[in-house]
Structure 1
Amino acid sequence: MKAITTFLASALLAFSLTSCDTEIVIGDGYNAPTLNEVLASSEVWYVDLNSTQGTPNVPFMTRAFTLSFDFGTVYANNNLVGVGSAGAGLGIDVGSYNAVNNQLAILHDIDGLHDFEVIVRAYDRLELRDLHNNTRYFLDGYDRANFDYDQLFYDNVQYFLQEYQAWEKVYTSNVGAINDFDRENYLRFFPGNNEDIFESSQDRNGLNSSSLFWDYSGDYTVRDQSPGSINKQLTLGYDFIWNDYFDLYIVDDRTIEMYHIDSGTTYRFKGRGYIQLKNASSVNSTKNRMLDYNRAMENKK
C-alpha cells in the first residue's frame, strides 16, 4: 500500500511540476498534492545546510545529513558510520511529525517541537521556513537507490573522525624514519567554534578512552588528495609546535590508515567508543555541520 501511495503522490507531484513554471501549491490531494504526499515522494531528503538563509539554530537540522518522513516518524542520518545501512538507509528514529496544509510540525526526541512552513520549489527541492525566526532550510529529495551514500561519506570525512571517543594506534610500519608521531598512541577529534580540534595522547595501548591523558592539541583539516578523490590529506596543526601531514585512507568505518609524509611511516588506528549522535548526553553531542556552513558563508562574502 505504501508503494502505491508513494507512486501516486510522485506522479501527481511530477504532473504538477510539468503543468506550471511556478512553485507547487500544496493542496487536497486531488488537484494538488498534500504535504504528506510531498514528503513521501522522496525516501531521503538531503539537508543542504550551506544554502540556508538566515541563522540555522535548530539543532537537529544542523546535525543531520538527511531526513526522512515515514508515516509520522522522522528518521535522520546523523552519523557517517554505517550510513546507507543504518535503518535501511533512512538512519535512526529521531522523532515524529504532523503535516497539515503547508505546515510541518516536527517533535524531535531531544530538541523538542519546531514548526515550519513548507514551500515546494521543485519535485525534489523543499524549502522549510522556521516559523519562529524565519530561517529557511532547503532539502533535496532522493530515492535510496539513487542517493550516493559513498559520496556523502567521503565528502564529510572530517565529521566521520569525530564519531569515536578515541582512535587507538594498532599498527606502525617497519618502513619509515623515526619521528615524534611514533610515540602518540591515541587521537581524538571534535568540533570547535572556529575550527575542528584534535588531541593526541602518548598513553600506553589498551586503556579506556575516559582515562586517557591528552598530551597535545591543535586544529585539523581534511582535504582531497586530488579533486573528488576518496583518499584524503590530513593535517594536524599542533598548537605552538609544528604541523604533521598525512595521506589518510579509510579502510572501513572503524579503521583509518595514516601515511606520514615526512617520515614515510604508515600507521593504522581503530575507532574506540562509537558515538551515536542523537542523545544530548552523548560525548561529542555538540557535533554538527555549522563549521562548513560558516565557511560557506565566508566564501559568499
Structure 2
Amino acid sequence: MKSITTLLGGFALAITLVSCDAEIIIGDPIVEPTLNEVLSSHDVWYLDLNSSQGNLDVPFMTRAFTMSFDFGTLYANNNLVGIGRAGSGIGIDVGSYDTFFDTVTINHDIDGVHEFDVIVHSFRRIELRDTFNGDRYFLDGYSINGFDYDQLFYNNIQYFLQEYGAWEKVYTSNEGAINEFDAENHLRFRPATDADIFQSSQDRNGLSTGSLYWDYTGEYWVEDASPGSLNKHLTLDYDFLGNDYFDLYVIDDATIELYHVSSGTTYEFKGRNFIQLKSTTTSKSRMLDVERARK
C-alpha cells in the first residue's frame, strides 16, 4: 500500500500548478497538506462505486451518493429527494470523523466505527481503503457549484422512486383508451437482490401507506429514452398481462407523470411517506446494481 505521505506531495504540486503567479525557488521545502486539508479540499466527494473494489459491505458507503468532510462532521447525500438543496448541497449530518496521519476513522450515527487508509491518486481523486478487509472505495472531488446534481438525479432515478413508502395516483387524463392500468391507484418501488421490484394496489385513495394491500409484485426498470438522455422510459413487468411501458417525467420532488404508451393515457402520482435515509439494512444500496453488472 502506498502511504499518503508518499502521495501528498503530488497533491500539493497540483495545487501549486493552478496558480499562474506561483514562484518556485529551488531548495525551498514542499509543505505537504495534512489529511484534514485533503478531505476538506472539495465540497463534495462523489462515490464512484463502479470503480471500487471488494465486497464493499460498509452500508453508509454504498448508500451515499456524495460525502463531505467538514471540521470533524461527516455529511452525506443519501437521498435524491432534495439533492442539491439539502445542507446547501452537502446533505445531512450522518456522523463524525477523525484523522491520524494517513488514516481516517469514521463514526457513523447508525453503522458505527469504520477505519480507512486514505490514498491520494490526484487532486480530485482519492481512495478510502478499509483497514479491516481491504475493500477500496474511490471518491471524486467537486465544488458545489461545479457538481451536476441534475445529472446525478436522472442517472439514478430508479432510486428516487424508492424514496417514498408509496406513490398515490392523483390524476388520470380524459384522453387515452381504457386499459388495465386504470385500476391501479398506488405503486411502490423497492430494491431486491436480482432485480428492482414494484408493487401495485387497487385500494382507494386516502388510506395510509401501511394500510394498503398490494395486489401484485413484479420487476421494474428505468432506461434512457436515448443514451445519456434526461428523458426516461419506465417498464412495469406484469407477468399475466405483459409489460406496461411508460414515459416517465419528474414534475417535482414528490410528483411523477407516467404517460402510458399503448393507451395514450397520462397519470400523475404523488409520493407518500418520504423515507429519509441515513443508512439502514432495509434501505437502498447502489451495490445491488454494481453486483448485477459484475455477474
TM-score using structure 1 length: 0.88
Q: Please state which structure has a larger fraction of its residues in helix.
A: 1
Give the superposition deviation at 1:278: 1.3
In 2: Cα distance, 1:253 partner to 1:40 partner = 29
C-alpha displacement at 1:297, in angstroms? 1.9
Give the counterpart letter for 2:231 in structure 1. N
Whichever residue aligns with residue 286 of structure 1, its letter is: S
Q: Give the corresponding residue for 1:230.
A: 230
**Quick check: 1:67 aligned with 2:64?**
no
Aligned equivalent of 2:200 = 200
What SS class does the counterpart of residue 154 from structure 1 fall into? helix
| In the alignment, structure 1 residue 248 sits paired with structure 2 residue 245 | no
Query: Which residue number corresponds to residue 6 of structure 1?
Result: none
Q: 1:102/1:16 Cα in 2 relative to 1: closer, same or farther (>3 Å)?
A: farther
Q: Are 2:85 and 1:88 equivalent residues in the alignment? A: no
Q: How does 1:40-59 map to 2 (within 5 A)?
A: 40-59=40-59
**4+ runs of 1 displaced by more than 3 Å?**
10-13, 15-18
Match of 2:288 in 1: 291
Q: Distance in 1 between matches of 2:136 and 2:48?
A: 11
> Which string of whole-angstrom CA distances, capped at 9 and with x for unpartnered residues, describes residues 233-265 of structure 1?
000012454211000001111100000011110
Amino-acid identity (%): 66
1:161-172 aligned at under 5 Å gives the runs 161-172=161-172
| Pairing 1:128–2:128 present | yes
Partner residue in 2 for 1:188: 188
CA contact (8 A) 2:69 2:75 kept: yes
SS of 1:204's equivalent in the other structure is coil
List gaps (5 residues or longer) in structure 1: 1-9, 19-28
Deviation at 1:16, TM superposition (A): 6.7
One-letter identity of the residue aligned with 1:292:
D
Q: In 1, distance between residues paired with 2:11 and 2:129?
A: 25
| 1-structure distance, mates of 2:37, 2:17 | 14
- What is the TM-score of this pair, normalised by structure 2? 0.90
- Per the alignment, residue 79 of structure 2 pairs with 79
**Could you say which residue in structure 2 is the equivalent of 1:7?**
none
> Is the Cα–Cα contact under 8 Å of residues 50 and 296 in structure 1 kept in the other structure?
no
SS of the residue corresponding to residue 14 of structure 1 reads helix
- What is the CA–CA distance in structure 1 between the aligned matches of 2:13 and 2:179, rounded to whole Å? 60
What's the secondary structure of 1:88's corresponding residue? helix
